Structure 1
Amino acid sequence: MSHPDDLDCNRSPNEHFQTVLARTLQNPARRHVLRGGLGLAALSSVPFLTACGNDDPAPTPAEAPLALGFAAVGKSIADEVVLPAGYTYSVLHATGDRLRSSVTAYSNLGTETDDWSDRIGDHHDGMEFFYIDAIGRYSATATNRAVLAVNHESSADAHFFHERGQTSGGTSGKKFTQFGNWDLGARPTLEVLKEINHHGVSIVEVQHGPSGWRYVVDSIYNRRITAQTPMRFGGPSGHLNDIRAFMVTRYDTTGATSRGTLNNCGTGYTPWGTLLTCEENWAFYFNMPKGSNPVDAKTVTSRSRYGVRSAPLADAATTDVGQGWYTPDAVDSRFARWNISAAGGSAADDFRNEPNTFGFVVEIDPLSGAQPVKRVAMGRFAHEAAVCGLPVAGQPLAFYMGCDSQNEYVYKFVSRAVWDPADIGGGLTAGDKYLNDGDLYVAKFNDDGTGAWLLLDISVPAISGYSVYAFANQADVWINARHAADAVGATKMDRPEWGAVNPKNGEIYITMTNNSSRQPGNTDAANPRSYNDVDGLMRAGNVNGHIVRFRENGSLSTATAFGWDVFLFGAEEDAGPDINLSGLSAQNAFSSPDGLWFSKATGICWIQTDDGAYTDEVNCMLVAAVPGEVGDGSTITVNNSRTGSTPATGTQETFIGAALGDAKLRRFLVGPKGCEITGITETADGKTLFVNVQHPGENTPALGAASDFTYQSQWPGNAGYGPLGRPRSATLVITRTDGGVIGV
């Protein structure tokens, strides 16, 4: 789904690698290297890459090549979930379902009078599955009890939570726009509380019985983490005072703690058994009312790089972008915190620093009530996911992260501590050990199929001497990581979103969802396409997105160099060879890859879409792919063109993985109308797959004079789950009717 943070906030002068490529192609020796001498088809001969899979022994019978075992699902624009023959699904839970029996059953009419802190949140997104042992602790092996932790991304369609839609300033029945365009005026307190508490994470116990997996109402593990939950900041002990100086607010004048987590999108699963939830599109919830006092110039520079408001509303304004959460009561800090003007004499008197408290990876112990921790050293940006590389005893851990906005970057955090399997089950204490202290890097993708990790540290001259933003210390570098990445010259990417690690060889995959600002003249090898959509939706740029994969030098988490290629390009099957570079067919064509996840049981790479370019032909989907390895394909030339662009045409060389064809790439699921398919996990035996359906009916028209909505979707009510009417996000439980392993 598009948000303001998806838009381009990167005004840095970092060159695109089209410029580098042009220089390279003028050099005959380097041109030979690019075209064949060291194209990715030959990278297996490069010493630093052979350790990452090419030296594996020949497959044994137990390691037979992966083969997909289902018939591809065709295109569908029906308001239903479509699966292959031999598969079935049920709904585990949906928006508004209760965690405790003391809360009323969900009406689906918007008439609830509780604040939603004991209900399942909205916009189901990333999720992780944690087994419980016989005495209630985390189990690294399978049992018939677990907790499922589900992220909740947004309240952009929060009109469904209220009887007559969102209201403001006494205006009833006004549906906000997708970005929350609202009439100025105080909003009703209960409406705002419902919206605040729809964000965060829902943690529920699930149990396996004769009817499969079901969630348990009133479990001691059931818990909501919301935008109001107290949290602490974690970082190296020597930098804590500097970190806290950025976090001082009226709520905590020491800066040691804050409240809540927002727009939780992708997730991560730590080797010790905790949840990493990632704060993505958090910037637009903050506002500065008309007549507000301005903030200082450095704060303005910091905010502008993140899309946070830094100037008061214009006096003549009658509407504004945002949710209006600051309007119900200026005294009550639950609402005043969203007003980020310099209202007092210092930061301790107001909430000017409140935006600094969001944009982090948050660690949660799903089996305890321990206070969540925001891991500052992992950087502050629009986090999409945080996936751990394959852990090796005695070596540091590496976590890979995308910043989900156009022309943003791919990051890596490397722990200072080395992995000790004895820390499994260690909860947040283990998290303090591995995630508080380490090195933060940003990726530079070179035009020859290699890449470099650039250190984000105050000791780097490009950072300490950066003219756009004056970094005070290392805490400032972490908190303003986007500025630091600009300073060192990272590669601008096409909306880097979820990451996933191939459990077979440790290679890392990152989705590049799309980029409407990509022009033919500023493509580069890692982001090589810019074109007009051919199906009449009139979108331009990198319309359909792609997936980049890379492997570290020597398979080391601490590597500062890597090799890469493009695993797959999204496209419509009839788009022509200059756009449909991966040779997709009607059975596997996809657009805008977003969620990404590898099954440890089967090795299938699962791709989920969040699309607006192909939805005239097919709703968002889940695609199964058989992964290869970096360098298994070839070097290709991409011929870009866009009507009215300058220049009108452009070519770009890049590196593409081996074609998969229908045998190795198949559409597995198509969702209902208006949805995004996102969030996926499985049981250890691979026989149950959990998949999230987010915001079905997203484009339902606004409430008008009529007494009801005109629904784009009515799922899952129309599938027999809960009251029919308003659409709801939900978690699916998918199984094979014969009880077998999913996908094979």
Structure 2
Amino acid sequence: MSHSFDPIDNQSNNEHFQEVLDKAFSNPSRRSILRGGLGLASMFALPMLPGCGGTSTASDAAVGAITELKFTTVAKSLADRIWVPAGYTVKILHATGDTLKTGVAAYSNAGTDDAESWANRVGDQHDGTEIFYIGSNGKSKGSYSYAAGDKAVLAVNNESSAEAHFFHPTGQTSGAAVGKKFDQFGQWTLGVRPAAEAIKEILMHGVTLVEVNLDASGKPTGYNATSALNRRITPETPMTVTGPAAELANLKAMMVTKFDPTGNTTRGTLNNCGTGITPWGTLITCEENWATYFTMPAGATVPTDTKLIASRTRYGVQTTATSATAATSRTQGWHTVTDADPTSRFARWNVSASGATAAADFRNEPQTFGYNVEIDPANVNSMPAKRTSMGRFAHEAAVCSIPVVGKPLAFYMGCDSRNEYIYKFVSTKTWDAADIGGGIAAGDKYLNEGKLYAAKFNDTGQGEWLELSINNALIKAAAFGFTSQAEVLVHTRIAADAAGATKMDRPEWGAVNHANGEVYFALTNNNASNRTPGKTDAANPRAYKDNDGIGRDGNPHGHIIRFKETNSMAEATTFAWDIFLFGAEEDAPAVNTNISGLTAANSFSSPDGLWFSKSTGICWIQTDDGAFTDETNCMLVAAVPGTVGDGGAFTVSNTMTVAGAPQTANQNTFVGKVLGESRLRRFLVGPKGAEVTGITETPDGKAIFVGIQHPAEEATAYNDVSKGVWPTNANNGVGGTYGLGGRARSATIIITKDDGGRIGL
């Protein structure tokens, strides 16, 4: 979802990526660090390597077959519909509120549905998406292996309740205030919330897993609404606390709440954004912007634990009681519901020190969120696991390195906020293909014991992984006062500050190129308070005024970086990096904005989701934009990637008005490569207000699944149809109307090629 107004919680003095580029540009011998950007010269020189799913398959072997895109580019659009190239068909797999169990009433789309029924409905805000194939042995083989007769399960993250005004008869209610729209980042109007509304909003979060119907050729045709494999994981689903064996006692002590005074279990997952898939065939769902769901109401007793308060400050959790005179509060107000439920399903969102100890209240509740959660799609009875060893922050995707038998696995992770970091977890255990289908037990083997790192990008074009360990002298000496590795894992952002990681511009999804193992990250955007010409650097060389009149300055269109581990080893502690692609409007000046030479056929802004097809090698780029929306809705762009280190020389000249005065700096040469329209094209444009996010494919590459999140996001009332009603409108790009009532709904779509071929070719 859009994060244009997210608070910035990283106030450390760590070097920003912009400062890295300053140093690089001041030394001509170092300008080659930017070499890269859409080069293709050596992409196909390497042999095919198996993807994160394990051993290579026939469909995997197709990677590298594409050298150019041949579909007709899709034009920009502001229409309330989906556009794809000629020769392609779009179909909705499921939409928010669709049923998952027998006996659940069809969705009304009028806000009249039973609140508790949301535990058996498709959740809202469709995001990260993964597909799993369940064999006759009842084990998931992930998306990398497929055999005729296997069942397919699609897992879709349900990020937030930001559009919850659509799910109540007359919008959201708080006391006497009716028909409001409460924003995730602090627009709740003070007053008591109705229980039914709070229950709906809680249960629409989490993850939706459904069995996908397949025809004889393996093509998805819909979903099985009564399958025993259908499952919802919500903020109320019990989960185990896992971590390094030597630290479990310390970890659990920080998870103690009234719900489980032992800290052995926690309750639920929240604000799930990106995803990952493990080599053994399980889902990793990532908890992103969870911090703003918790509050301390007026008159609350604030916890006195100085570490807890310092950590809340760094993560954006409320640290003081709400003012008695405040009109709004930074929460959804779920804590205001009169809580007669012994599970405290509403009181848990009040994180004040209301009890005598942490075991008598929920002061530690925020410390139970911010992790990667592992789910086994093949076993509906398995309990999800919070993987604390992978760190706690605003997780955005967790992409696995190419697994090599006998070698460790690496998972790459972004922390989705401006000025935050890129992380890596490296397993202690080495990969054994015999663990395919091993479920949560395999996750215990690979994800509990390992090393956690944060990335530092140097101005030489090289980078290093800084280990986040209690034995790191910088961490041990930090003012926070770390005393155990458990504290490093729970307060990861503070540890990364101390270690000296490089501040990045909203690191969102990462993706691994299956052809060569190189890692890509979307840096979605930055604003003028963080980016001026004097603050540009090698990884962020642009500071400019948006030329289209929206008035967003800094780097509003974002870019994509990539890096290659030394000797292509997952366990490497150094890497080489460059810039892959800059977002821009096609009519923006090339000297400081449209550096990648984008045209009307491929201009885009704010890259968010990233994903590589194993079938075709295409790098799919999904956008979550607020700077190009006067010309086009968000989109899906296809790119043919190159390799780290390809490209040629360019010059960027930064000019921007700062504090009322023109500022020009860093008119320097960098190295990149312009990609022609045959290798970068717009494939899809979404409906009004929607973010395009979450993508996966069938193993043959002949069908892709794409998430359409928060259509009609700009609507401020449940009955405001002027901002969009997709997919309930005619001519909506999916073959007619869907659902009832004219209210917009998030959805997951299936795209196929009319000639039965692979997508994008």
TM-score (norm 1): 0.94
Tell me which residue corresponds to 2:233: 225
- What is aligned with 1:131? 133
Q: Would the aligned equivalents of 1:526 and 1:565 in 2 still touch at CA under 8 Å?
A: yes
**Residues of 2 paired with 1:35 and 1:387: CA distance?**
29
**Which residue pairs with 1:206 in the alignment?**
212
Q: Give me the whole-angstrom Cα distance separating, in 1, the residues matched to 2:47 and 2:152.
A: 34
- Mean alpha-carbon deviation: is it higher for 178-187 or for 596-605? 178-187
- The structure 2 residue matched to 1:669, chosen from 673, 684, 690, is 684
Partner of 2:409: 397
The secondary structure found in structure 2 opposite 1:510 is strand
Give the AA of the match of 2:348.
R
Matches of residues 81-230 of structure 1 in structure 2 within 5 Å?
81-115=82-116, 116-139=118-141, 140-143=145-148, 145-177=151-183, 179-209=185-215, 212-230=220-238
Q: Deviations over 1:65-108 (max 9, x none)?
A: 52212010011110000010000111000000000131110111
* Matching residue within 430, 434, 441 for 1:418: 430
* Preserved contact between residue 562 and residue 644 of structure 2 (Cα < 8 Å): yes
Report the Cα offset of residue 717 of structure 1: 1.0
Tell me the secondary structure at the aligned position of residue 160 of structure 1: helix
CA distance in 2, matches of 1:87, 1:21: 42
Alignment partners' CA distance in 2, 1:5 and 1:275 = 30
Cα offsets for 1:628-674 (capped at 9, x unmatched) = 00011135443222212578122165755422110100000000000
Aligned-residue offset at 1:564: 0.8
Number of residue-to-residue matches in the alignment: 725
Q: What does residue 435 of structure 1 align with? A: 447
Identity among equivalent positions (%) equals 58
> Is the CA contact (8 Å cut-off) linking 2:721 and 2:742 kept in structure 1?
no
1: CA distance between counterparts of 2:67 and 2:213?
30
- Flag as ranges the 4+ runs of structure 1 deviating above 6 A: 52-55
The superposition leaves residues 326-379 of structure 1 with CA deviations (integer Å, 9 ceiling, x where unpaired) of 110245310111000011111111000000000000000011120000100100
Relative contact order higher in (CA < 8 Å, ≥ 6 apart)? 2
Write the distance in 2 (CA, Å) between the matches of 1:99 and 1:19.
50
2:630 to 605, 613, 616: 616
Corresponding position: 1:366 with 2:377: yes
Cα deviation for residue 314 of structure 1 reads 0.8
> What is the rounded CA distance, in whole Å, between the counterparts of 1:62 and 1:448 in structure 2?
31
The answer on whether the counterparts of 1:138 and 1:273 sit within 8 Å (CA) in structure 2 is: yes
Q: Give the 5 Å matches for 1:563-574.
A: 563-574=576-587
Quick check: 87-96 or 9-18, which moved more?
Answer: 9-18
Q: Secondary structure at the match of 1:241?
A: helix
Q: Which runs of 5+ in 2 are unaligned?
A: 49-60, 730-735
Is the partner of 1:126 in helix, strand or coil?
strand
For the structure 1 residues 616 and 67, does the alpha-carbon distance in structure 2 shift closer, same or farther, using more than 3 Å as the test? same
Opposite residue 490 of structure 1, the aligned amino acid is A
Q: What letter matches 2:128 in structure 1?
A: G
After TM superposition, the structure 1 stretch with the greater mean CA deviation from structure 2, 376-385 or 647-656, is 647-656
- What's 1:557 paired with? 570
SS in 1 for 2:677: helix
Q: CA deviation at 1:319?
A: 2.1
Question: Do the aligned partners of 1:675 and 1:698 also contact (CA within 8 Å) in 2?
Answer: yes
| Cα distance, 1:236 vs structure 2 | 1.1
SS at 2:266 equivalent: strand
The separation in 1 between residues aligned to 2:594 and 2:109, in whole angstroms, is 42
The residue type equivalent to 2:296 in the other structure is: M
Q: Please say if residues 475 and 498 of structure 2, whose CA atoms lie closer than 8 Å, have aligned partners that are also in contact.
A: yes
Greater shift in the superposed pair: 4-13 or 718-727: 4-13
Tell me the alpha carbon deviations over residues 402-443 of structure 1, each in whole angstroms, 9 at most, x when there is no partner: 000001000000000000000000000000000011000000
CA distance in 1, matches of 2:45, 2:70: 26
**Amino acid corresponding to residue 164 of structure 2 in structure 1:** A
Show structure 1 runs of 5+ residues with no match: 45-49
Tell me, in whole angstroms, the C-alpha distance in 1 between the residues paired with 2:63 and 2:652.
39
- Return the offset for 1:155: 0.4
Q: Equivalences for 1:578-617 in 2 at 5 Å?
A: 578-617=592-631
Residues of 2 paired with 1:202 and 1:64: CA distance? 33
Distance 2:36 2:14 in 1: 29
| Most deviating of 623-632 and 320-329 | 320-329
Q: 1:367 to 1:347 in 2, by over 3 A?
A: same
Structure 1 residue 489 and structure 2 residue 495: aligned? Answer: no
The aligned amino acid for 2:235 is A
Report if the CA contact (8 A) 1:362-1:372 is conserved: yes
User: Kindly tell me: are residues 178 and 466 of structure 1, through their superposed partners in 2, closer, same or farther at Cα, counting changes over 3 Å?
Assistant: closer
Rounded to whole Å, the distance in 2 between the matches of 1:138 and 1:206 is: 14
Offset of 1:299 from its aligned partner?
1.4
- Select between 575-584 and 8-17 the one with higher mean Cα deviation: 8-17
Q: Describe the shift of the 1:142–1:610 C-alpha distance in structure 2 as closer, same or farther (beyond 3 A).
A: farther
Do the aligned residues in 2 keep the contact of 1:229 with 1:259 (CA within 8 Å)? yes
| Normalised TM-score (structure 2) | 0.92
Name the CA distance, whole Å, in 2 between partners of 1:662 and 1:129.
30
Corresponding residue SS for 2:200: helix
> 2: distance between equivalents of 1:135 and 1:713?
45
Q: Which moved more, 1:649-658 or 1:713-722?
A: 649-658
